[in-house]
A and B are shown apart, each in its own frame.
Chain A
């Protein structure tokens, strides 16, 4: 009896050899598929303040630089990040006790002082929001952090697709003219969710 016949007549052994072949082949194919797959990320951007404008654009531009396919769905206050003019993005320490109030000028020890400004004062001083916003812009600039304009431009340059929530555009009374021409689509949750379903990374910011 030759070897082949022996294997065929011994079903347990045949099964074991097949399982071994399948496991190896399966592992190989899974690895091949993982290597050939382009990673993807879907972000839902919901905040429109100067500070919260950073995370979606930093993550999107970096993921795109890594070769990932990236899409962002801008909804509610996040829509402000698609406006042509980003110079009016604001930040305020009012109601945000985690936000340090530091000066972007003077000696290093002066710059490190965290100014304890109570909500009662910062919420009634006229123009306080503008002051806090320009201080943050200047601090970021001093530290070599990109502006939101720059990060958005780099994201677009790297083919990040940007979708605007049509419902919020209507509710907030915006028009498509308020937004950059590069907006990929004006759509709803039903359009974006199937995209997010297929993404490796999904973030709600």
Chain B
């Protein structure tokens, strides 16, 4: 330990630091006491107590643990006193003993200070070593050339090599092979330059297993500033790295879950409205990249001209913490606007969450465009159904009224012809009910297209149409892709329609078009202004018609995704052209 060692600053007579006092116990015979105290008189930093008895001195040492030094005169060591020094060393190994006759008065005081410093230094070193031995980190001392000079027990625990195996070897003993030469060159360069190297690296355990450590290597310099050794402190960070990996994995999992979510997820700072996180669906919904969204204000999601209303909505829901928001306060749809200015109706499941002490607003945006479309379609269908029901009710009420009226007339007059009329009307009601059921069935039937012969289908349908003087001429034998049963029904209704309006002697021609077929008759034809109404349910211009035949035809055409047009035949009759049909040679 040199004078400059930091452990103790004790002022001798030459020292200008007199703030630290030493307690000195002087053991001397009564005659020698005067000499000893006289020798230390000029040193006020030394607090002197004295005793003539070595035994009493031992007691004092027990009682007063802050005695720094024992000064003993040779005279006191005579007789029983001869064992006093060894007794002190045993009971107080850190307390130095100085002979009172050591020298002149000034020298004695110096000697006391030196001895105290030496003893304290020793005990600090012991403590230091103790600390190194028990440190949880692996500590390795190497020479300047890298040869290992010392390793602590933790080193063995972490590396698998004990002191005997490690000392004399070089740190390359621990190399994992994961890092390239450049890595080690850089490391050595740093420490040889007298700098501290800090970093993470992979080492190989004696068992072969590679593990991560966090290492600090500090150069130790001599008094001239030359690097003479290195101390390396290694900390096994396997657990930490594993924890980090797990965290990363779980973050990745969380990220991919969020990203894979079909709904757009937007997390924004509840206070500022700044978007802090979005998923892929949010990018798709808004037509903006994830990086563009993050950092923007949440108002970027909504139409510009509605800025204030959405800002208020956001603020209100930050207050209410959690809610499903389906509309703005005035009942209008919540909309998200994309980069092209197009809007999408959404429903927002909003939740206030706290992350790292920050209030965040998490909004799950569900695109409800399809739902809205379905709702509209449902409403449309309901309206259609309602109008259909009205039509049916209307068309049943007329013949019903005839039945009731004719029965009443028959009852009043006793004439049987009224009953015949009533029966006819009742028959019409029956036919109507059947056709309504038929019409309802059309919508349900799943179509299975197969090649069907136009000729066979039309002629089979013609057989059941009651038209004794009528003629059907099929001018083509093409095959077309259709649901055979439905096509048959289509012909039955079209041909019946021709007979209904053109009479039982009607002449009908069926033939092929480029992408379909036609049915033309020589009846009275359909006036232009009525052509767009004839397919409506219940529309009829015939006293016997139910008005459902052509509605059925239209449904069959729609179900096949075909088109139908009504024109005039060469003879001035009606001509139905069905197109969009897939033909087979």
A associates with B: no
> Which residues of B are interface residues toward A (Cβ below 8 A)?
none
> Which residues of A are interface residues toward B (Cβ below 8 A)?
none
